[in-house]
Chain A
C-alpha cells in the first residue's frame, strides 16, 4: 500500500515539475462562477438563491457552508453538489471568505435545551408570518428573483428543510434569532425575547426534523412522457386535441411541425405536429415558483403518424419533469395538473 502511495506521490511531484500548474489547488472563484453564480449572483447579491453577503457570511461557520454545498436544500431548489471533491468544496468556501473578508464563527456542537411546546407558541406569534406553519417559508418561490412580484424583500428561507437542519447547529439557529438577518428583512429578536424564549424556539425549530417531506416519491416505472395510441386518423386526432384544450381554457398557439425550421419545406415531415398551448394566468403563477420553467415551455402534445398509419400522442409526464427542478412547490402544483392532461387526452382519444 505504502509503495503505491509513494509511487503515486512521486508521480505527482514529477508531473508538477513538468507541467507547472497541473496539480494546482482548485480555483474557488472559478468553481463559484461555475456552480453558484447562476442562483446567487457573482457577488452573492442573490437571485433564485439567498444572499451570500458579508453580514451573513460573518455569522456562519465554514462547516455550515460546506455542509450546505454538499446537501443542498432538498426540494427547495438548491441542488446537492455531491460530485465536487472535498478540495473543491473547500476552495469555494475559501473564496467566499476572501470575497467577503470575513472569518467564520465556529459554533459549539452542544445542543440547545429548550421547551419545544412553548417554542411553538412563540413561533406562531413571531415567526409564522414569514416562515409558515410548517417552516417551509411563506410566499411563492425563493430568494429575490427580480422577474416577479414579491411579498417579501427576500423570500424567507425554509427552516424545516432537512438540508438546513443538518447543516445548522443549534447554536447557529440561536444566533440567527438573536441578531436576525437584517438586510434580508428578518428582524433581531434580542429585545423581544428572553434567552429562555430563544432556547425554546430553537428546540421547536429543531423539532421540524420529525416532519415528513410533503412530496411523494414517484413510482420507479414512471416514464418521462406518456405515449397514447389514437383510435382516430391524424387530422381528427389533431382537431380533437385542440377542441379538448380549448374546453379546458388553454390558449392554443399556431401548430408547429416537429421538424419545422430545421429543414426546408419540401422535406419536412408534415405528419408530426406539436400542438402547443398555454394558460398565461397559470403560467405566471408557476413562474413565481420556478423562474427556470422556460426550459420546458410551452406545453406541447406531439401527434405523430407512424409508418403503418398508426397515430400516437406523446405527452410530457409532469410528475417526472417537475422533480428535475428540485422544487417541491412546483411538484405539488404539477402533480395536480397531471390530471388535467390525462382528461384532455381521454377526451381527444374517445
Chain B
C-alpha cells in the first residue's frame, strides 16, 4: 500500500510537465536521485542537444581537505566548437563564459543542478546575432534540465 502511494506520487511527479526554473540569472533544478547517477544523465542530455562534453571538473577533492561536506561536486564543461569560434572571433569579451558549464551538486540523496542563465549577459550585448545565440543557449539549458528531470522521474517509477 505504501509503495503504491509512493508510486502514484512519483508518477504524478513525472507526468507533471517538468520545467527547470529560470529564476532570473540562475537556472536551477532539483533532481531526486544521487549525484553520481544524475551526472550521467546530464552528460547524455548535453550530447543529445548537440554539444560536446569538453571535460569534467572535480571540485570536491581539493575542497574536502578544507572540510567541505559535499561528497560530490562536479562541473560539466561543454560546447560546440563553431559557437566557441564565433564568440572568440567576434565577441572576445565573452570567452570567459565559454565553454558552458553546469554545476552538479549533491545534497544528500538529491542533486541540485545549477547553471548561469546565459541571458544574464544579454543586457551587455545589444547585438542581434548574439541575443539570438544567448537565447538559444538558455533554451537548450532549460531543455537539458527538463530532460534530466523527466528521465530520472521515469527511472524512479520503473524501479518501484
Interface residue A336 (Cβ < 8 Å from any Cβ of B): no
Looking at the complex, which of A125-133, A169-177, A201-209, A276-284 is the stretch in contact with chain B? A276-284
Q: How far is the CB of B94 from chain A (nearest CB, A)?
A: 7
The interface bits of chain A over 219-234 (1 if a CB of B lies within 8 angstroms of the residue's CB, else 0) are 0000111010000000
Interface residue B133 (Cβ < 8 Å from any Cβ of A): no
Partner of A314, one of B18, B93, B116: B93
Please report the total number of A residues contacting B with Cβ < 8 Å.
60
Interface residue A180 (Cβ < 8 Å from any Cβ of B): no
Please report the total number of B residues contacting A with Cβ < 8 Å.
62
Interface residue A76 (Cβ < 8 Å from any Cβ of B): no
Q: How far is the CB of A97 from chain B (nearest CB, A)?
A: 18
Q: A258 with B108: in contact, given A37-B30, A314-B92, A324-B120 (CB under 8 Å)?
A: no
A348 to B23, CA, bound (A): 38
Interface residue B29 (Cβ < 8 Å from any Cβ of A): yes
Q: Which of B76-95 contact A (CB under 8 A)?
A: 77, 79-81, 84-85, 88, 92-95
Contact present for A258 and B96 (CB under 8 Å) = no
Interface residue A300 (Cβ < 8 Å from any Cβ of B): yes
Interface residue B112 (Cβ < 8 Å from any Cβ of A): yes
Q: A296 with B116: in contact, given A223-B124, A259-B81, A315-B96 (CB under 8 Å)?
A: yes
Contact present for B121 and A325 (CB under 8 Å) = no
Contact present for B19 and A34 (CB under 8 Å) = yes
Partner of B21, one of A38, A41, A324: A38
Interface residue A292 (Cβ < 8 Å from any Cβ of B): yes
Contact present for B101 and A147 (CB under 8 Å) = no
Q: Write out the residue numbers on chain A whose beta carbons fall within 8 Å of the beta carbon of B32.
A: 42
Contact present for A39 and B96 (CB under 8 Å) = no
Q: How far is the CB of B120 from chain A (nearest CB, A)?
A: 5
Contact present for B96 and A283 (CB under 8 Å) = no
A35 to B114, CA, bound (A): 13
